Amino acid sequence: MIDMHSHLDLYPNPLAVAEKTNECNSFTLAVTTSPRAWQATSRIFSPYKNITVALGMHPEIVQQKVGELDLFLNLIPKVKILGEIGIDGSTRNNGNFQLQKKIFVTILIEAEKFGGKILSIHSRGAGEIVLKNIMKYSKNSRVILHWFSGTIEELKMAISLGCFFSLGPAALLSRRGRELAAKIPLDRILPESDGPFAMVNGKSIFPWESKQIHQSIANIHKIPERQISIQIKKNFDRLNES
Ligand code: MN
Protein backbone atom coordinates (compact mmCIF):
# COMPACT_ATOMS: atom_id res chain seq x y z
CA MET A 1 0.00 0.00 0.00
CA ILE A 2 1.23 3.48 -0.90
CA ASP A 3 0.34 6.89 0.52
CA MET A 4 1.90 9.76 -1.45
CA HIS A 5 0.70 12.61 0.77
CA SER A 6 0.18 12.30 4.49
CA HIS A 7 0.69 14.81 7.30
CA LEU A 8 1.95 12.01 9.50
CA ASP A 9 3.49 14.38 12.05
CA LEU A 10 0.16 16.10 12.68
CA TYR A 11 -1.97 13.19 13.92
CA PRO A 12 -2.80 13.40 17.64
CA ASN A 13 -0.48 10.43 18.29
CA PRO A 14 2.12 10.61 15.50
CA LEU A 15 4.45 7.89 16.76
CA ALA A 16 1.73 5.26 17.08
CA VAL A 17 0.37 6.20 13.65
CA ALA A 18 3.86 6.10 12.14
CA GLU A 19 4.52 2.70 13.69
CA LYS A 20 1.38 1.18 12.17
CA THR A 21 1.90 3.04 8.86
CA ASN A 22 5.41 1.63 8.60
CA GLU A 23 4.01 -1.88 9.06
CA CYS A 24 1.02 -1.58 6.72
CA ASN A 25 2.41 0.52 3.87
CA SER A 26 5.34 -0.23 1.59
CA PHE A 27 5.79 3.52 1.07
CA THR A 28 4.39 6.60 2.77
CA LEU A 29 5.37 10.15 1.99
CA ALA A 30 5.16 12.25 5.14
CA VAL A 31 4.89 15.79 3.82
CA THR A 32 5.81 18.65 6.15
CA THR A 33 4.66 22.26 6.43
CA SER A 34 8.02 23.96 7.12
CA PRO A 35 11.74 23.14 6.99
CA ARG A 36 11.98 23.12 10.81
CA ALA A 37 9.13 20.63 10.90
CA TRP A 38 11.09 18.58 8.32
CA GLN A 39 14.14 18.55 10.61
CA ALA A 40 12.18 17.40 13.66
CA THR A 41 10.03 14.92 11.75
CA SER A 42 13.00 13.38 9.92
CA ARG A 43 14.67 12.70 13.26
CA ILE A 44 11.58 11.18 14.85
CA PHE A 45 10.66 9.01 11.85
CA SER A 46 14.20 7.91 10.99
CA PRO A 47 13.67 4.35 12.32
CA TYR A 48 10.77 3.80 9.91
CA LYS A 49 12.18 2.53 6.64
CA ASN A 50 8.88 2.67 4.75
CA ILE A 51 8.33 6.34 5.57
CA THR A 52 10.02 9.14 3.63
CA VAL A 53 9.81 12.69 4.95
CA ALA A 54 9.40 15.42 2.34
CA LEU A 55 10.75 18.93 2.81
CA GLY A 56 7.79 21.31 2.85
CA MET A 57 6.68 24.91 3.02
CA HIS A 58 2.89 24.91 3.14
CA PRO A 59 1.40 27.77 1.09
CA GLU A 60 -1.25 28.55 3.70
CA ILE A 61 1.31 29.41 6.37
CA VAL A 62 4.05 31.18 4.35
CA GLN A 63 3.44 34.40 6.27
CA GLN A 64 4.61 32.75 9.51
CA LYS A 65 7.34 30.65 7.86
CA VAL A 66 8.96 33.06 5.38
CA GLY A 67 11.88 33.42 7.82
CA GLU A 68 12.65 29.73 7.22
CA LEU A 69 13.02 30.09 3.43
CA ASP A 70 16.84 30.17 3.52
CA LEU A 71 16.85 27.05 5.66
CA PHE A 72 14.53 25.40 3.13
CA LEU A 73 16.80 26.30 0.21
CA ASN A 74 19.86 25.01 2.07
CA LEU A 75 18.16 21.69 2.77
CA ILE A 76 17.06 21.03 -0.84
CA PRO A 77 20.28 19.15 -1.80
CA LYS A 78 19.69 16.73 1.09
CA VAL A 79 16.27 15.47 -0.02
CA LYS A 80 14.71 13.65 -2.95
CA ILE A 81 11.15 14.88 -2.42
CA LEU A 82 9.73 18.35 -1.73
CA GLY A 83 6.24 18.83 -0.31
CA GLU A 84 3.94 20.22 0.64
CA ILE A 85 4.69 23.24 -1.51
CA GLY A 86 2.48 25.25 -3.86
CA ILE A 87 0.02 28.12 -3.99
CA ASP A 88 -3.42 28.42 -2.37
CA GLY A 89 -5.79 30.75 -4.20
CA SER A 90 -8.61 30.64 -1.61
CA THR A 91 -10.06 34.01 -0.66
CA ARG A 92 -8.77 33.75 2.90
CA ASN A 93 -5.21 33.49 1.59
CA ASN A 94 -5.49 36.40 -0.87
CA GLY A 95 -3.48 38.69 1.37
CA ASN A 96 -0.25 36.78 0.89
CA PHE A 97 -0.75 35.57 -2.68
CA GLN A 98 2.34 37.40 -4.00
CA LEU A 99 4.47 36.05 -1.15
CA GLN A 100 3.19 32.51 -1.80
CA LYS A 101 4.03 32.86 -5.48
CA LYS A 102 7.50 34.24 -4.79
CA ILE A 103 8.34 31.41 -2.38
CA PHE A 104 6.94 28.73 -4.71
CA VAL A 105 8.93 30.03 -7.71
CA THR A 106 12.11 30.39 -5.63
CA ILE A 107 11.78 26.75 -4.53
CA LEU A 108 11.10 25.51 -8.10
CA ILE A 109 14.17 27.34 -9.42
CA GLU A 110 16.42 26.03 -6.64
CA ALA A 111 15.15 22.45 -7.10
CA GLU A 112 16.17 22.58 -10.79
CA LYS A 113 19.74 23.49 -9.81
CA PHE A 114 19.98 20.05 -8.24
CA GLY A 115 18.66 18.19 -11.25
CA GLY A 116 15.01 18.42 -10.26
CA LYS A 117 13.10 16.72 -7.44
CA ILE A 118 9.84 14.91 -6.91
CA LEU A 119 7.34 17.60 -5.91
CA SER A 120 4.06 17.15 -4.00
CA ILE A 121 2.13 20.28 -4.92
CA HIS A 122 -0.91 22.08 -3.50
CA SER A 123 -2.83 24.05 -6.13
CA ARG A 124 -6.30 24.77 -4.66
CA GLY A 125 -7.81 27.75 -6.47
CA ALA A 126 -4.48 28.35 -8.19
CA GLY A 127 -4.22 25.64 -10.83
CA GLU A 128 -3.33 27.90 -13.71
CA ILE A 129 -0.60 29.87 -11.97
CA VAL A 130 0.90 26.72 -10.44
CA LEU A 131 0.98 24.97 -13.82
CA LYS A 132 2.41 27.97 -15.66
CA ASN A 133 5.28 28.12 -13.21
CA ILE A 134 5.86 24.37 -13.41
CA MET A 135 6.00 24.69 -17.20
CA LYS A 136 8.46 27.57 -16.93
CA TYR A 137 10.80 26.33 -14.20
CA SER A 138 10.44 22.60 -13.59
CA LYS A 139 11.87 20.88 -16.65
CA ASN A 140 13.60 18.16 -14.62
CA SER A 141 11.28 17.69 -11.68
CA ARG A 142 8.53 15.09 -11.47
CA VAL A 143 5.32 16.74 -10.33
CA ILE A 144 2.53 15.21 -8.26
CA LEU A 145 -0.53 17.43 -7.99
CA HIS A 146 -2.04 16.62 -4.61
CA TRP A 147 -5.86 16.65 -4.33
CA PHE A 148 -6.14 18.45 -7.67
CA SER A 149 -9.45 20.34 -7.86
CA GLY A 150 -8.92 22.66 -10.82
CA THR A 151 -10.85 23.17 -14.02
CA ILE A 152 -10.98 20.75 -16.95
CA GLU A 153 -8.70 23.09 -18.91
CA GLU A 154 -6.17 23.07 -16.08
CA LEU A 155 -6.43 19.30 -15.86
CA LYS A 156 -5.64 19.01 -19.59
CA MET A 157 -2.65 21.31 -19.16
CA ALA A 158 -1.39 19.26 -16.20
CA ILE A 159 -1.75 16.03 -18.18
CA SER A 160 0.17 17.52 -21.11
CA LEU A 161 2.93 18.58 -18.71
CA GLY A 162 3.28 14.97 -17.54
CA CYS A 163 2.02 15.53 -14.00
CA PHE A 164 0.95 12.75 -11.67
CA PHE A 165 -2.14 13.18 -9.49
CA SER A 166 -2.40 11.93 -5.92
CA LEU A 167 -6.00 11.22 -5.01
CA GLY A 168 -7.48 10.29 -1.67
CA PRO A 169 -10.78 8.86 -0.44
CA ALA A 170 -11.95 12.35 0.61
CA ALA A 171 -11.31 13.80 -2.86
CA LEU A 172 -13.57 11.13 -4.37
CA LEU A 173 -16.52 11.80 -2.04
CA SER A 174 -17.98 14.56 -4.20
CA ARG A 175 -19.46 14.07 -7.62
CA ARG A 176 -17.15 16.75 -9.01
CA GLY A 177 -14.18 14.96 -7.49
CA ARG A 178 -15.18 11.73 -9.21
CA GLU A 179 -15.81 13.53 -12.50
CA LEU A 180 -12.31 14.99 -12.43
CA ALA A 181 -10.82 11.64 -11.41
CA ALA A 182 -12.54 9.97 -14.36
CA LYS A 183 -10.63 12.28 -16.73
CA ILE A 184 -7.19 11.54 -15.26
CA PRO A 185 -5.29 8.92 -17.29
CA LEU A 186 -4.88 5.75 -15.21
CA ASP A 187 -1.13 5.85 -15.68
CA ARG A 188 -0.93 9.15 -13.77
CA ILE A 189 -2.85 8.23 -10.59
CA LEU A 190 -1.28 7.70 -7.17
CA PRO A 191 -3.04 7.17 -3.81
CA GLU A 192 -2.89 9.61 -0.91
CA SER A 193 -4.62 10.01 2.45
CA ASP A 194 -3.94 13.72 3.18
CA GLY A 195 -4.72 12.75 6.77
CA PRO A 196 -5.34 13.87 9.39
CA PHE A 197 -6.94 16.85 7.59
CA ALA A 198 -8.86 14.85 5.01
CA MET A 199 -11.85 13.16 6.56
CA VAL A 200 -14.57 10.71 5.59
CA ASN A 201 -17.71 10.60 7.76
CA GLY A 202 -16.10 13.01 10.22
CA LYS A 203 -13.06 10.79 10.80
CA SER A 204 -9.48 11.43 9.71
CA ILE A 205 -8.21 9.08 7.04
CA PHE A 206 -5.12 7.06 7.97
CA PRO A 207 -2.24 6.31 5.58
CA TRP A 208 -3.19 2.62 5.42
CA GLU A 209 -6.65 3.63 4.17
CA SER A 210 -5.45 5.45 1.03
CA LYS A 211 -5.88 2.19 -0.87
CA GLN A 212 -9.66 2.71 -0.77
CA ILE A 213 -9.23 4.76 -3.93
CA HIS A 214 -8.34 1.60 -5.88
CA GLN A 215 -11.93 0.39 -5.57
CA SER A 216 -13.37 3.85 -6.35
CA ILE A 217 -11.23 4.22 -9.48
CA ALA A 218 -12.08 0.66 -10.51
CA ASN A 219 -15.79 1.53 -10.22
CA ILE A 220 -15.37 4.74 -12.22
CA HIS A 221 -13.62 2.90 -15.07
CA LYS A 222 -15.58 -0.34 -14.70
CA ILE A 223 -12.46 -2.48 -14.60
CA PRO A 224 -11.27 -4.92 -11.91
CA GLU A 225 -9.67 -3.45 -8.80
CA ARG A 226 -6.68 -5.74 -9.29
CA GLN A 227 -5.90 -4.01 -12.57
CA ILE A 228 -5.88 -0.63 -10.78
CA SER A 229 -3.53 -1.97 -8.10
CA ILE A 230 -1.09 -3.20 -10.74
CA GLN A 231 -1.25 0.13 -12.61
CA ILE A 232 -0.66 2.16 -9.44
CA LYS A 233 2.38 0.10 -8.59
CA LYS A 234 3.70 0.78 -12.11
CA ASN A 235 3.00 4.50 -11.72
CA PHE A 236 4.91 4.57 -8.45
CA ASP A 237 7.89 2.80 -10.03
CA ARG A 238 7.88 5.23 -12.95
CA LEU A 239 7.77 8.21 -10.60
CA ASN A 240 10.91 6.93 -8.92
CA GLU A 241 12.81 6.16 -12.13
CA SER A 242 15.37 8.52 -13.65
MN1 MN B 1 -1.84 18.36 2.55
Average pLDDT over residues 160-183: 96
pLDDT at 4: 98
Residues whose Cβ atom is located within 5 A of ion ligand 1: 84, 194
Query: How close is the Cα of 62 to the center of ligand 1, in Å?
Result: 14
Query: How close is the Cα of 196 to the center of ligand 1, in Å?
Result: 9
CB atoms within 10 A of CB 149: 16
Between 242 and 238, whose confidence is greater? 238
Query: How close is the Cα of 20 to the center of ligand 1, in Å?
Result: 20
Sign for the CA dihedral angle at 169, 175, 179, 182 comes to positive
| pLDDT confidence band for 85 (50 / 70 / 90) | very high
Characterize 182-221 residue by residue with b for buried, 16 or more Cβ atoms within 10 angstroms of its Cβ, and e for exposed.
eebeeebbbbbbbbbebeeeeebbbbbbbbbbbebbbebe
| pLDDT confidence band for 82 (50 / 70 / 90) | very high
Query: How close is the Cα of 70 to the center of ligand 1, in Å?
Result: 22
Query: How close is the Cα of 33 to the center of ligand 1, in Å?
Result: 9
| pLDDT confidence band for 229 (50 / 70 / 90) | very high
23: pLDDT strictly greater than 80: yes
Query: How close is the Cα of 74 to the center of ligand 1, in Å?
Result: 23
Query: How close is the Cα of 7 to the center of ligand 1, in Å?
Result: 6
Query: How close is the Cα of 56 to the center of ligand 1, in Å?
Result: 10
Alpha-helical runs (H) found in 46-171: 62-65, 69-75, 97-113, 127-137, 152-160
Query: How close is the Cα of 84 to the center of ligand 1, in Å?
Result: 6
242: pLDDT strictly greater than 90: no
Q: How confident is the model over 64-76, as pLDDT tens digits?
A: 999 999 999 999 9
Query: How close is the Cα of 224 to the center of ligand 1, in Å?
Result: 29
pLDDT at 146: 98
pTM value? 0.97
